[in-house]
Structure 1
Amino acid sequence: MDISKKIAELKTEPGFRENVGMVLVHNGVVRAWSRKDKGKVGRVKIEVDQAKVETIRKEIEARPGIFRAVAEARSGEYVPGDDLLFLIVAGDIRENVKPALADLLDRVKSEAVTKQELSE
């Protein structure tokens, strides 16, 4: 996903100017070390339940003050530095947008993504 392009597209949607005061973005990338033990990670295998991602995205987008939620989660094999997860939440005020992005991120990672870290 081209984040700048996607935000530009969102800005052309009817209602954006009237309803959006904040856009938050998450761009998740592969780390070269494991969160578990700080061991070296050479690559990761990712499986994404896209239907679950879409369900979560719709739930977040339905929250008060949220204009749009966008999610792109990638399945496959990746190496450190590769992009894995893009999230965008656009809404009215930070008290609504910040927790929405945090919940979207936490839920997608815990409910829709399976990751296997490989040393080489």
Structure 2
Amino acid sequence: MANKKVSPSMDEWLREAKADPRALQEGMFLVHNGIVRQTSKAKVRQGLDDDSLVKGMEFAYAPEKVAAAVEETYKMAGIFYVKVWLNEGRLDVGDDIMYLLVGGDIRPHVIDALQFLVEKIKTECVTEIEQR
């Protein structure tokens, strides 16, 4: 499996996004930064606690599925900018899993689009295997 990547700079991403010609239509940007946590997904989401701690994660993604998710997000009302970065390989607790940046006209549109994109990527595009 590939080695983990260096995380991008959000300052650079935002400078790039604001320089895009579509930026004149945007009223806000939202960033999502998913990281590897010590608490298992089963405990956080389902309340199942086996007293074990996550030590890391094997992470992979399907680029073609991510590209399709980005294209779907662009079709949402008021969305003019989408950028995605996904890590890969063996990740440690605290490492960045993903960064997503969504820009659009008004808050409800951008919030909906970010939520849609995170859910789509997490459920259809990536493989996360927690290591204990």
TM range (shorter): over 0.9
Question: Residue 31 of structure 1 aligns with which residue?
Answer: 37
5+ residue gaps, structure 2: 1-7, 44-48
Deviates more, 1:70-79 or 1:32-41: 32-41
Indicate the RMSD between aligned Cα atoms, in angstroms: 1.1
TM-score, with normalisation over the residues of structure 2? 0.85
> What is the CA–CA distance in structure 1 between the aligned matches of 2:127 and 2:22, rounded to whole Å?
36
Question: Residue 47 of structure 1 aligns with which residue?
Answer: 60
Judge conservation of contact 2:22–2:81 (CA < 8 Å) in 1: no
Deviation of 1:62 (Å): 2.1
TM-score, with normalisation over the residues of structure 1? 0.93
Question: Residue 4 of structure 1 aligns with which residue?
Answer: 11
- Alignment size in residue pairs: 118
5+ residue gaps, structure 1: none
Question: Residue 101 of structure 2 aligns with which residue?
Answer: 88
Deviation of 1:4 (Å): 1.4
Deviates more, 1:66-75 or 1:102-111: 66-75
Deviations 1:73-97, CA, capped at 9 Å, x for gaps? 1221100000110001000001211
